[in-house]
Every structure is written in structure tokens, then in C-alpha cells.
Amino acid sequence: MRELAIVNAQLVDPASGRQGPGALLLRDGAIAEIAWGAAPATGEGVQRVDAGGLIVAPGLVDLRAFLGEPGAEFRETLGTGSQAAAAGGVTTVVCRPDTDPPIDDPAIIDFIKRRARDKAVVNVLPAAALTKGIEGREITEFGLLLEAGAVAFTDGSRAVRNPQVMRRAMIYGRDFDALLMNHLEDPDLRGAGVMNEGEFASRKGLPGIPLEAETVMLERDIRLARATGARYHAAMISCAESVELVRRAKADGVRITCGISINNLTLNENDVGDYRTFCKVSPPLRHEDERLAMVAALAEGVIDVVVSDHDPQDVETKRQPFAEAANGALGIETMLSAALRMVHAGQTDLPTLLAALSTRPAALLGLSCGRLSVGAPADLILLDPDAPYVVDKRKLKSRAKNSPFDEARLDGLVRTTFVAGRVVYEADAV
């Protein structure tokens, strides 16, 4: 591969927190040289990209996205999902295993890897099912699945409700140092609820989901992780009490990390408005006080990662009464620009935000991306953090169109995305 120099850039390295003017030299798909405050020495034949003062940062790593294959290609495919990811600055995606059939067998992991190699423009890593058939009764063969290429274990949008099964998974997973991710919504406590329990739900005449549906299961899992020594990741938390549970568990030495959906970080229950089904998600959008607690926890570092929770849905499953519509929202293409709302509001700084979007999720998976360092993969983005635009669902690259940010005004556009030093996305000229 030819050498490529990105010059006249504002470098942001979330791993070290360093930011400032500089340039990068890319060679053979990796960062070969970093020149802070100057341009790297280059020879003849080096291709130059003038960043024009834009931010150059590591590509994002998304720990949770539904990419459709196998079995739900009408909702999304590895091709369309990866194109949406590239447009949003995401260079590595962990795909959910709750497909049809579920990703609970090494052969299906091999299928995902081969399809991604042929169709995807970004790195796609499969998460394997935590239980066979995602039925919550019997754990999968962690060792064989890890050997085949699984990077984590989860039942996707289904919680593991049986504590004995979760305990066995943690004991088994501990021996492999496997990352176990559980969706925190107790189905019995959720009951028939369809949105956050509270005054707003009552005014809308909709059954509510109590905070305890999340916190009771989280506290159970923390106790099991403490007892077993397993590596546990709370997939998505959404309320202040969960933050306190995680904070105390970390202080006690429990091997726990946690994530949050971009939806719960930037939207609240009022965005449901007049029964907008695009805002029906799991966990549900919470009260504004809970959302602000999530923002503070992210800035503090209690929340480790931000995920898109990208969940494309067919139009027929969303064009329903709110109580009957499917959960799920698009997120991968708008995650970064939505998250930049917090930077523009002064609630956090850019390196802190990018650490939660790239460095920390990469570290959880044992990847060398998510940082600007010599030898790291040249998975990079050129970002214009102040570029305004209005989200038009018809222009999104995802096969589905259920974006909760449709018609919203956002600031921050990815102009170019590189994977292994190759351009996989370029925004249209303004």
C-alpha cells in the first residue's frame, strides 16, 4: 500500500487526552509516524491529504449493533449496516447475535466473518450468544466460539433472567477471561410496560417500565460477578441508581464495566411526544433528571462506553400503535453527531467523549485501535465538529429508516473515514 500523509490536521488522541495541530503518516494499513505541531518527513510518491484544519481522531468502536445477517436481511445487511457505520465514523462494529439462526455455533461465526470480508467496508466482529438459541436455559460453548472468532457473549436484546444460568456462564467465562454482556431488563418487572414509568406515561395512558426492572437485575449480576470473578459488562444502563451500583462495585474491585445507548444519553421520555414509535427503545427513554445523571457519569468515567444500540426495524413493525410497535432505533450513523451535543453544551470535552466511543471499547475487546499511536491500525476519521445538518431519514444509508433523530438539527459531520488506511467513506461536498 502506498504511503499516505494526513497533514494540516487537529489531532485528538483520546487514549492520552492529547490534542493539537499535527500530521500523520500511514503505511501498510497502520500509523507509521505522528508529528505533533509539524508535518512528518515524507519521500517522493507519498499521497497527501490536506485535512484543512479538521479533527483527525481514531475511528469509533461500537459494541452493540444489529446488522441483520443471517435471517433479517430485510431490516439490515452487513453491506448496508457497514456503509451506515462508515458514514458515522464507526470503523469497528460488534454485531449482535440475536439473529435467525442465532450466532451460537462456530459455523455461523465463520459465515459472519466471510460475509463481512466480502460485503462490509468496516471491521465487523461477531458477538456470540451467551445461551443456546438465546433461550436463556443452557450456556453456549465459549471456548469453541472464542476460537472461531467471537469477541464477547450476550443474548442481545434478551436478558438472562435465570440467575443460575448467569452464574454458570460467569464461572465458565472466567476461565477464558471472556467478556459477558447482559441486557438489563427483567422481563417480569417490565411486564406489559412500554415506556418509562412516571407521570408522562400516565398522561399518555401507557403502561410504564419501572427503574427496578434494570436495577434489580444489575444488582444481581454484580453480586454474581463479585462471587465468581468474571469479567462482566452491563450492556446499557439508563438511570442514576444504576450508576451508583456500578460506582460502588468498581470501588469494591468487581471486574465490571458498563455502557449506555446514545438514545438514553441524548434523549428523554418527552421525545416520545405524540406516540413516536421511533423513540420506543429498550431500555426506555427516561426522565430528564436521569438523562442528566447519565451525562455526568460519562464525564466522570463511571460509564465506560457509549454504544449506538443500532436496531433497524421494518416499517410495518413501527407503523403500529405505540404499545404494539417493536422496540428499536437506528443509531450508528448519527451516534457521533448526537453525542457531540454534550461537547457543544460544555458537559464534557472531546477527548473524554471519544475515549468512550473508541479507546475504551477497543480495550474491552483487546484491540489495538482506538488510539493515535505508532503501530496502531490506521482506522481514522476526519471530523468537522461544528458542521450543522438536519437529519433526513431518507438519506440514511441503513436499509431501515427508524431514526429517533429524524428532522433533528445536529452539529458535527464525519467528512472522511479510513479503515486500514483506505478511504471507505467521503461525505458529499457542501
Q: Return the H-helix or E-strand segment holding 398.
A: none
How far is the C-alpha of 42 from the C-alpha of 255, rounded, in Å? 45
Q: Are 412 and 336 in contact (CB under 8 A)?
A: yes
How far is the C-alpha of 50 from the C-alpha of 60, rounded, in Å? 21
The single residue of 62, 186, 304, 309 carrying the catalytic annotation is 309
How far is the C-alpha of 4 from the C-alpha of 32, rounded, in Å? 10
Say how many Å lie between the first and final Cα of the chain, rounded: 30
How far is the C-alpha of 75 from the C-alpha of 399, rounded, in Å? 6
268-272, long-range: CB within 8 Å, 24+ apart, which pairs?
Answer: 269/195, 269/196, 269/198, 269/200, 269/201, 270/200, 271/404, 272/195, 272/200, 272/204, 272/322
- Burial class of residue 185, CB neighbours in 10 A (0-12, 13-18, 19+): buried
How far is the C-alpha of 384 from the C-alpha of 406, rounded, in Å? 20
3-state secondary structure of 407: coil
Q: Are 366 and 29 in contact (CB under 8 A)?
A: no
Residue 326: DSSP 8-state: P
Contacts of 268 by beta carbon, 8 Å cutoff, 6+ apart: 285, 286, 287, 288, 290, 291
| β-strand partners of 61 | 92
Q: Reply yes or no on whether 309 is catalytic.
A: yes
| Other Cβ atoms within 10 Å of 39 Cβ, number | 16
How far is the C-alpha of 42 from the C-alpha of 57, rounded, in Å? 21
| Other Cβ atoms within 10 Å of 408 Cβ, number | 17
Phi/psi for 389 (5° steps) reads -160, 160
383 grid coordinates: 471530523
In angstroms, what is the C-alpha Rg of the chain?
A: 21
- CA angle at residue 381 from 379 to 386, to 5 degrees? 165
Give catalytic residues, as residue numbers. Answer: 309
